[in-house]
């Protein structure tokens, strides 16, 4: 590294250190475009619905983000998103108390996270493989148990209202949960020792270990967070539909990773932000509803997200080069 040129390097302007810069601009641009194209876009009803949809994906993205920053993947979140509400629905239909069913279902989510973490960390195989296997395993179980048919609740369940019921017209509890959980995880990542350790574990695992960070424990906890939040997000969708389809949440893992990457998170770990993921999820939700309102067939949504993902990754790579050399 040439030392002569060092003196010329000036401190970077603040905005380069804003990891979410690309995502913020992108979201604003889409917001303006959709507002111009469609009259309904700027209505309270549409904005509330859009945000609710974004919230269900967003809660999954929060956990995926924590795990990604610590250097691991979770491809099983889409399956967990369906398994947890499925467990709850089946138990309730068998007459189990709804609170008890809720706790057991969430514990299943926690358990899958523990399994993901232990298998990955004890055997040393990539989490990409572990969680891909888990994703297929649980999807298979879902289809086998239900025979491919959705599970419909046999009676009204009051508890579900607090996951996905309406708060104010089209705004649902999932939106409130998303905001609350985003604040919590933003605090955890940016303002706690655990957050510092998460960054360090993904950034340079050897250095983190040498400085006494319990890297395996950090990763394990993040595996559990990812799985647990995915399960909880599944409950918010369940609360909205009151029905669980065994194909619920398919490809959600990829959307969550896309949301995280759009939000400026580095796929290889060590860099990212909760605010970025929040914005990434909102952007995906907005594009989905915006395209529908603009009259584009539903299929266009995926194509569109694909392009946005690649453009976002390119922009973020450029910004990061400025920040981290």
Residues lying near other proteins in the complex (CB under 8 A): 1-3, 6, 9-12, 17, 187, 191-193, 195-197, 199-200, 203-204, 206-213, 266, 270-271, 323-325
Query: Closest separation between CB of residue 153 and other proteins, Å?
Result: 36
Structure tokens at 142: 């879902």
Query: Closest separation between CB of residue 178 and other proteins, Å?
Result: 21
Residue 80: phi, psi to the nearest 5? -65, -35
| Closer residue to other proteins in complex, CB, 204/250 | 204
| Closer residue to other proteins in complex, CB, 23/208 | 208
- Lookup result for tokens 């979410």: 20
Query: Closest separation between CB of residue 189 and other proteins, Å?
Result: 11
Half-sphere exposure in the Cβ direction for 45 (13 Å, CA): 3
Alpha-carbon dihedral sign for residues 38, 43, 47, 48: negative
CA 245/CA 259 separation, integer angstroms: 23
Q: Reduced to 3 DSSP states, what percent helix, strand and coil does the chain have, rounded to the nearest 5?
A: 75, 5, 20
Structure tokens at 261: 């990457």
| Closer residue to other proteins in complex, CB, 161/209 | 209
| Closer residue to other proteins in complex, CB, 154/268 | 268
Assess contact for 52 and 58: CB atoms under 8 A.
Answer: no
CA 208/CA 212 separation, integer angstroms: 6
Query: Closest separation between CB of residue 14 and other proteins, Å?
Result: 9
Query: Closest separation between CB of residue 195 and other proteins, Å?
Result: 8
| E-strand stretches of the chain | 151-152, 166-168, 171-172, 243-244
Measured distance between the N- and C-terminal CA atoms of the chain, rounded to whole angstroms: 12
Maximum CA pair distance of the chain? 75
Contacts of 123 (CB under 8 A, 6+ apart): none
Query: Closest separation between CB of residue 217 and other proteins, Å?
Result: 13
Per the document, the length of the chain is: 325
| Closer residue to other proteins in complex, CB, 17/318 | 17
| Closer residue to other proteins in complex, CB, 200/284 | 200
Query: Closest separation between CB of residue 316 and other proteins, Å?
Result: 13
Report how far apart, in Å, the C-alpha atoms of 113 and of each of 121, 195, 314 are: 12, 19, 31
| Closer residue to other proteins in complex, CB, 158/325 | 325
Query: Closest separation between CB of residue 197 and other proteins, Å?
Result: 8
| Closer residue to other proteins in complex, CB, 140/214 | 214
């Amino acid at each position: 590294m040439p030392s002569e040129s060092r003196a010329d390097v000036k401190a970077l302007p603040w905005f380069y250190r804003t990891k979410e810069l690309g995502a913020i601009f992108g979201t604003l641009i889409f917001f303006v475009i959709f507002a111009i194209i469609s009259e309904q876009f700027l209505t309270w009803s549409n904005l509330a619905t859009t945000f609710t949809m974004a919230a269900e994906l967003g809660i999954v993205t929060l956990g995926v983000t924590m795990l990604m920053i610590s250097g691991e993947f979770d491809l099983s979140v889409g399956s967990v998103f369906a398994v947890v509400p499925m467990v709850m629905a089946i138990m309730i239909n068998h007459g189990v108390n709804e609170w008890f069913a809720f706790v057991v279902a969430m514990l299943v989510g926690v358990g899958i996270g523990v399994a993901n973490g232990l298998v990955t960390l004890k055997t040393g195989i990539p989490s990409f493989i572990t969680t891909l296997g888990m994703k297929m395993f649980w999807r298979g179980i879902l289809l086998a148990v239900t025979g491919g048919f959705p599970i419909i609740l046999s009676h009204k369940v009051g508890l579900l209202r607090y996951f996905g019921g309406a708060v104010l017209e089209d705004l649902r509890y999932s939106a409130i949960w998303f905001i609350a959980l985003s604040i919590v995880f933003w605090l955890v990542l940016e303002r706690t020792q655990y957050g510092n350790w998460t960054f360090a574990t993904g950034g340079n695992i050897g250095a983190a270990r040498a400085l006494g960070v319990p890297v395996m424990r950090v990763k394990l906890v993040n595996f559990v967070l990812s799985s647990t939040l995915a399960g909880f997000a599944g409950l918010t969708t369940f609360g909205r539909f009151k029905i669980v389809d065994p194909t619920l949440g398919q490809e959600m893992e990829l959307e969550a990773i896309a949301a995280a990457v759009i939000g400026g998170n580095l796929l290889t770990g060590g860099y990212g932000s909760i605010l970025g993921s929040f914005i990434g999820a909102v952007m995906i939700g907005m594009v989905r509803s915006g395209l529908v309102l603009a009259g584009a067939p539903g299929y266009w949504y995926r194509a569109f997200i694909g392009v946005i993902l690649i453009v976002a990754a390119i922009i973020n790579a450029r910004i990061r080069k400025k920040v981290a050399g």
